[in-house]
Chains A and B, each alone.
Chain A
Amino acid sequence: MQALFGQLLIGLINGAFYAMLSLGLAVIFGLLNIINFTHGAQYMMGAFCAWFLLNKAVIGDTGIGYWPALIIAPIAVGVFGMLIERTMLARLYKLDHLYGLLLTFGLALVIQGVFRNEFGSSGLPYQIPAILQGGVNLGFMFLPIYRGWVIVASLIVCLATWYVIERTKLGSYLRAATENPALVQAFGINVPRMITLTFGFGVGLAALAGVMAAPIYQVSPLMGADLIIVVFAVVVIGGMGSILGAILTGFGLGVVEGLTKYFYPEASNTVIFVIMVIVLMIKPAGLFGRER
């Protein structure tokens, strides 16, 4: 039983990262109509940013710790993303959307390659912050506090994103621009700037996931490379039409993956892809998707 709950917990944590990453992808896709292949690399950059702040940006005798990193890393990586959007992606909007995919794929190769040359392929450890160390015994299982925190925090971030997009005025501009950018521009809203900020936000979300992942997984240059392909499958399964859908699919698939690890470990790598195949056969638009 302990093992089952343990795997369920790991599943939930993976699900939290799937949810945050696919949410970022969906927000970016909604407005820019491109799939951001650098998303995995930006998740990795978030983790590295946290590592840098702790180990290199030393003031006095301690580096900048986890809590400031949770804010600094997403902003730094988000700004990096906005630079990419302004200097490169913006030139491609008039072309086929596939070029955006190809460009970001190339960028991902460059970013991951540079980090790999600097840091090698092995992981760097990142300490769990002092307050979140240790664990609690829940009776049926032992819960490391940090892992509980990751699940709760990512849920809050996801729901806050949902709230902003679906329930606020800012979000209504965003949704309108997703439907018809030309019309929204005609109403006097600066759509190009909105696109840049949205891209930065999506990228920042990936970096935030990276910071939260740093103490759980090791910080390594390729940590996002395989993950992003799984997240693509998650996006195909959920469909990118709905924000809540992306969150639900992310967490749900993480749990399914965890259960598979317990009951039939050999299939744990492929179970999400198998689910994708089944969903494509039954409901090609995805569980929460609309045909567009």
Chain B
Amino acid sequence: MATTAPIAAAPRRSRSNVLAGTAVMTALLAIAPFVGIYPVFTMKALCFALFACAFNLLLGFGGLLSFGHAMFLGTAGYVCAHAAKVWGFPPELAILTGTATAAICGLVAGSLAIRRQGIYFAMITLALAQMMFFFALQAKFTGGEDGIQAVPRGHLFGIFDLKNRTIMYTVVLVIFLSGFAFIYRIIHSPFGEVLKAIRENETRAISLGYKTDRYKLVAFVLSATLAGVAGATKAIVLQLASLTDVNWPMSGEVVLMTLVGGLGTIFGPVVGAFVILVMQFKLAPIGEWVLVIQGAIFVACVLLFRRGIIGEIANKLRIRL
């Protein structure tokens, strides 16, 4: 496979930058509800940010472009919503069930998709996601076009009432930050280093004795699982699981978020998710044109702005973010 080399140049490795960045991000997110930013919006954005981070783990660090990541977000959302509403699961168990389903989907889809490389990989994941979409459209429990509505938020661990906005916000923030930290850990583990080696030159990684397929599969499952966490949490937050989350435009949207923020950067997907969601929110009055603008941003990013927002900043400051 051809080498993937779009990643932001990083002359100096520095952990302190990432720590400082995380501190700033956490502080901003902690004060956001108190400065008049609608908490449900921030929570939704945090779910998408985690989703984008999970996607970035696969593309930015593994060099694998999945064009079907909506299948993990959506499936986890449906299963979580169903578990909470019909089976009466408490939220922590519902989220766990949704996440586990996404992990299994990831294992199945991943073991099929890694049989081909590059562009075929993208097409296979897209086709598998479309299959999942039709399944969600036809299956009884997903409620078809209506989706699963009025999902109860319930009490976390039987104690914390998630109908309370502050508690819900804190829980989502904790979930997001844990996912974020977990991804950072993966990237900087020996496993992550091998993954980057595969991204740069798979043939050489194989010749060094690494079973690259296994690494790719593990990365795929990890990414699917984390996307599942995002989807399940989103279903609890918005009390809704719908077809939008399994459909192909969602798979495209997460690519866009990651690209806008900065492919292969730590903070990029988070920034990208917020930028895209704010844009969608602000532009909602002009209706369908939002899609056109999103497409145009896609084109502009690919042609002129491949490093993304965070990638550009990191490159200017010659640091790694």
Contact of A235 among B5, B123, B288, B296 (CB under 8 A): B123
Contact of B298 among A92, A97, A105, A284 (CB under 8 A): A105
Q: Are A92 and B302 in contact (CB under 8 A)?
A: yes
List, in ascending order, chain B residues with CB within 8 A of A230's CB.
127, 130
Interface-located stretch among B10-18, B131-139, B157-165: B131-139
Q: Are A97 and B292 in contact (CB under 8 A)?
A: no
- A-B contact count, CB below 8 Å? 125
List, in ascending order, chain A residues with CB within 8 A of B259's CB.
102
List, in ascending order, chain A residues with CB within 8 A of B307's CB.
none
Interface of A: prevailing SS: helix
Q: Are A281 and B302 in contact (CB under 8 A)?
A: no
Contact of B306 among A33, A99, A109 (CB under 8 A): A99
Q: Is B281 an interface residue (CB 8 A)?
A: no
B105-130: CB near A (< 8 Å → 1, else 0) gives 00000001001101110111011101
Q: Is B283 an interface residue (CB 8 A)?
A: no
Q: Is B39 an interface residue (CB 8 A)?
A: no
Q: Are A98 and B65 in contact (CB under 8 A)?
A: yes
Identify the closest chain B residue to A35 (Cβ): B119
List, in ascending order, chain B residues with CB within 8 A of A235's CB.
123
A111 CA to B288 CA, complexed, in Å: 12
A208 CA to B67 CA, complexed, in Å: 27
Q: How many residues belonging to B are interface residues under a CB distance threshold of 8 Å?
A: 44
Interface-located stretch among A67-75, A194-202, A242-250, A270-278: A270-278
B3, B127, B130, B134, most chain A CB atoms within 10 A: B127
Which A residues from 93 to 126 make CB contacts under 8 A with B?
Answer: 95-99, 101-103, 105-114, 116-117
Q: Are A109 and B135 in contact (CB under 8 A)?
A: no
A261 to chain B, nearest CB (A): 14
Identify the closest chain A residue to B123 (Cβ): A232
Q: Are A107 and B295 in contact (CB under 8 A)?
A: yes
Q: Are A236 and B116 in contact (CB under 8 A)?
A: yes
A220 to chain B, nearest CB (A): 14
If A101-B122, A273-B128 touch, does A110 touch B116 (CB 8 Å cutoff)?
no
If A98-B65, A101-B122, A270-B135 touch, does A108 touch B303 (CB 8 Å cutoff)?
no
B140 to chain A, nearest CB (A): 12
Q: Are B298 and A280 in contact (CB under 8 A)?
A: no
A284 CA to B128 CA, complexed, in Å: 15
Q: Is B191 an interface residue (CB 8 A)?
A: no
16 CB-based A-B contacts, threshold 8 Å: A95-B306, A99-B6, A101-B122, A103-B302, A105-B252, A106-B295, A106-B298, A108-B295, A109-B292, A109-B294, A113-B295, A117-B288, A117-B289, A117-B292, A273-B131, A277-B112
Nearest 9 Cβ contacts at the A-B interface: A106-B298, A109-B295, A113-B292, A110-B295, A273-B131, A284-B115, A113-B291, A233-B127, A232-B123
Other than A29-B119, A276-B124, give 8 A-B pairs with Cβ distance below 8 A. A88-B303, A92-B303, A96-B5, A97-B119, A102-B302, A103-B302, A105-B255, A232-B126
Q: Give the A-binding residues of B (Cβ under 8 A).
A: 2-6, 65, 67, 112, 115-116, 118-120, 122-124, 126-128, 130-131, 134-135, 137-138, 248, 252, 255-256, 259, 288-289, 291-292, 294-299, 301-303, 306
